[in-house]
């Protein structure tokens, strides 16, 4: 039963690119086709939202390759909407993550500064590059992300021998309350300078491709800096909201955000994510995660081929 | 859940501003979008032209719709699509407002390092929002 419950949204997620692709190749649509596409964006994003939560990925990383690969919109508008989708989801979650003690502002601020600066740079480069080149980069990045999702390990409570001098100076430490075990777990971080440099790179890629950066933030915080996994996931969300805002402003000022694409996507993704969070007890996260990886491989390959002119 | 007494004051301030700001942004986003797609407010770019226009790059789209990018949309808020952008702008401004709101808290705590970090982040975001960074591409 759990298998089927997990498979249903996963199959839907997998089917929509195919339907969108078929619709795109259909003869010229009538004058009212705009609302059909808008509705389609809402529905696709609704299912992406359901799948994204149990799969542990942000909406942006699914949105850009699927919509960019299978919908008729120019990649500029897709990336603009992708950033907005990524930002809106994290804005909605941010307050409760802080109130629950899941995110830490001292950890977030230095990395958010680094990522927001480079995210704007990534947006500048991304909108200056020809769409075809961005499509190739997107395809390669999505295939890499899928491989990372398949291969990367996680550590619930990483061992940090001693905090580095910068994190000590910045006071990046705390006590994390684990609701499952009921334990109070002291934490601190190491390799902070390397983390700041890593987030420069992550922010740049996020702005360039419009994919958000949760897929890289969490391993960076958890495996590199030694942040407990749940704290890493929550703090990643706050970092992403700041970094995405910087790039979103650039896309907005460039005219690369079309409300008719972006707004239904945001609403659909947020509604789906709420349902996805409620369905966590029913869905089989492992099955959904595998389906998401398969979708990323499929849409990444499609982006790559589209960029190469096939 | 952290009780409010244990929650650091800067995190409480950040969470409060983010909560109310994003709520206002979402409400405005949905309402303005409804006004736009129902035709209550006429759009700058005709809706039935969008399937042709959204295939263009941003530069070509702006040329085809006589738009100029930057903050030009703020002068045409009587148009449905421009008003929808106001909701998006409000959402994008939420992180700026939240970070700016915690600067006085850090200054009161004499935590000058974090006050400076927040000021720098706000400056980066304001620079992105200003449109001064806009790279004109064709």
Instruction: Give A286-310 pLDDT, tens digit per residue.
Output: 777 788 888 888 888 988 998 898 8
| pLDDT attached to residue B33 | 95
Range from A106-120, A178-192, B99-113 carrying the lowest mean pLDDT: A178-192
Q: List CB contacts of A195: < 8 A, sequence separation 6 or more.
A: A111, A189, A220, A221, A224, A225
Q: What is the pLDDT of residues A71-95, one digit of tens each?
A: 999 999 999 999 999 888 888 888 8
Q: Of A263, A98, A207, whose CA–CA distance to B124 is shortest? A: A207
Range from A206-215, A228-237, B128-137 carrying the lowest mean pLDDT: B128-137
Tell me the mean pLDDT in the region A184-188.
90
For tokens 């089917």, the residue is A15
More confident residue, A141 or B123: B123
| pLDDT attached to residue A25 | 53
CB pairs under 8 A between A and B: 187
pLDDT band, very low/low/confident/very high, at A14 (cuts 50, 70, 90) = low
| pLDDT attached to residue B138 | 43
Closest CA of chain B from A13, distance in Å: 24
∠ CA A168-A171-A174, rounded to 5°: 110
CB atoms B124 and A98 under 8 Å: no
Closest CA of chain A from B10, distance in Å: 8
For chain A, say whether B29 makes contact (Cβ under 8 Å). yes
CB atoms A72 and B56 under 8 Å: no
CA distance A25 to B15: 46
| pLDDT attached to residue B20 | 95
In this complex, the residue of A112, A127, A247 whose CB is nearest that of residue B58 is A127
Range from A177-181, A279-283, B74-78 carrying the lowest mean pLDDT: A279-283
**A110 → chain B, closest CA residue:** B117
Chain A residues with beta carbon closer than 8 angstroms to that of B87:
263
Chain B residues with beta carbon closer than 8 angstroms to that of A258:
50, 54, 81
Residue A27 has pLDDT above 60, yes or no: no
pLDDT band, very low/low/confident/very high, at A149 (cuts 50, 70, 90) = confident
Closest CA of chain B from A91, distance in Å: 6
| pLDDT attached to residue A15 | 57
CA distance A151 to A153: 7
Per the prediction, chain A carries an average pLDDT of 84
Tell me the mean pLDDT in the region A58-73.
86
| pLDDT attached to residue B24 | 94
Chain B residues with beta carbon closer than 8 angstroms to that of A255:
58, 61-62, 67, 69
More confident residue, A13 or A100: A100
Residue A123 has pLDDT above 90, yes or no: yes
Tell me the mean pLDDT in the region A96-116.
92
> What is the reported pTM?
0.88
| pLDDT attached to residue A288 | 74
Closest CA of chain B from A71, distance in Å: 10
CB atoms A131 and B57 under 8 Å: yes
| pLDDT attached to residue A4 | 46
More confident residue, A299 or A282: A299
The angle that helices A2-24 and A59-70 make with each other, rounded to 10 degrees, is 40
Residue B112 in tokens:
């000058």
| pLDDT attached to residue A58 | 72
CB atoms B133 and A106 under 8 Å: no
Chain A residues with beta carbon closer than 8 angstroms to that of B71:
253
CB atoms B7 and A98 under 8 Å: yes
Q: Which residues of chain B have pLDDT under 70?
A: 1-5, 135-138
Tell me the mean pLDDT in the region A251-258.
94
Chain A residues with beta carbon closer than 8 angstroms to that of B125:
116, 242, 245-246, 249
Residue A8 has pLDDT above 70, yes or no: no
Mutate to test the interface with A, among B33, B128, B132, B136 (most CBs of A within 10 A): B128
CA distance B120 to A206: 20
Tell me the mean pLDDT in the region A191-200.
95
Residue A153 in tokens:
């390990």
Q: Of A279, A236, A251, A281, whose CA–CA distance to A64 is shortest? A: A251
Chain A residues with beta carbon closer than 8 angstroms to that of B55:
72-74
Closest CA of chain B from A94, distance in Å: 7
CB atoms B7 and A99 under 8 Å: yes
| pLDDT attached to residue B87 | 92
Q: What is the ipTM of this complex?
A: 0.93
């Amino acid at each position: 039963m759990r298998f089927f419950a997990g498979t249903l949204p996963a199959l839907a997620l997998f089917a929509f690119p195919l339907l969108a692709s078929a619709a795109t190749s259909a003869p010229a649509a009538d004058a009212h086709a705009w609302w059909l596409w808008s509705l389609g964006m809402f529905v696709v994003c609704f299912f992406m939202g359901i799948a994204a939560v149990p799969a542990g990925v942000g909406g942006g990383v699914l949105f850009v390759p699927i919509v960019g690969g299978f919908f008729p919109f120019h990649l500029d508008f897709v990336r603009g909407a992708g950033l907005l989708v990524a930002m809106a989801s994290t804005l909605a979650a941010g307050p409760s993550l802080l109130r629950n003690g899941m995110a830490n502002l001292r950890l977030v601020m230095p990395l958010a500064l680094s990522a927001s600066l480079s995210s704007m740079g990534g947006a500048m480069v991304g909108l200056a590059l020809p769409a075809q080149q961005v499509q190739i980069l997107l395809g390669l990045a999505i295939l890499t992300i899928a491989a990372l999702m398949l291969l990367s390990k996680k550590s619930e409570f990483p061992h940090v021998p001693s905090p580095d001098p910068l994190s000590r100076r910045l006071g990046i430490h705390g006590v994390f309350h684990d609701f499952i075990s009921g334990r109070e777990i002291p934490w601190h971080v190491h390799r902070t300078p390397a983390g700041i440099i890593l987030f420069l790179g992550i922010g740049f890629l996020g702005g360039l491709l419009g994919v958000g950066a949760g897929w890289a933030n969490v391993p960076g915080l958890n495996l590199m800096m030694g942040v407990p996994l749940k704290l890493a996931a929550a703090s990643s969300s706050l970092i992403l909201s700041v970094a995405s805002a910087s790039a979103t402003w650039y896309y907005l000022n460039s005219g690369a955000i079309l409300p008719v694409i972006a707004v239904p996507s945001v609403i659909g993704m947020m509604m789906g994510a709420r349902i996805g969070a409620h369905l966590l007890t029913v869905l089989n996260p492992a099955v959904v995660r595998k389906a998401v990886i398969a979708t990323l491989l499929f849409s990444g390959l499609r982006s790559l081929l589209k960029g190469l002119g096939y | 859940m952290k009780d409010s007494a244990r929650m650091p004051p800067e995190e409480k301030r950040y969470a409060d501003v983010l909560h109310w700001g994003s709520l206002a942004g979402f409400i405005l986003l949905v309402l303005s979008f409804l006004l736009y797609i129902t035709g209550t407010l006429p759009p700058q770019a005709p809706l039935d032209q969008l399937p042709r226009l959204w295939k263009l790059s941003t530069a070509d789209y702006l040329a085809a719709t006589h738009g100029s990018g930057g903050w030009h949309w703020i002068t045409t808020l009587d148009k449905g699509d421009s008003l929808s952008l106001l909701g998006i702008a409000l959402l994008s401004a939420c992180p700026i407002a939240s970070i700016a709101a915690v600067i006085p808290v850090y200054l009161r705590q004499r935590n000058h390092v974090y006050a400076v970090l927040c000021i720098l982040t706000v400056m980066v975001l304001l620079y992105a929002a200003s449109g001064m960074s806009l790279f004109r591409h064709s």
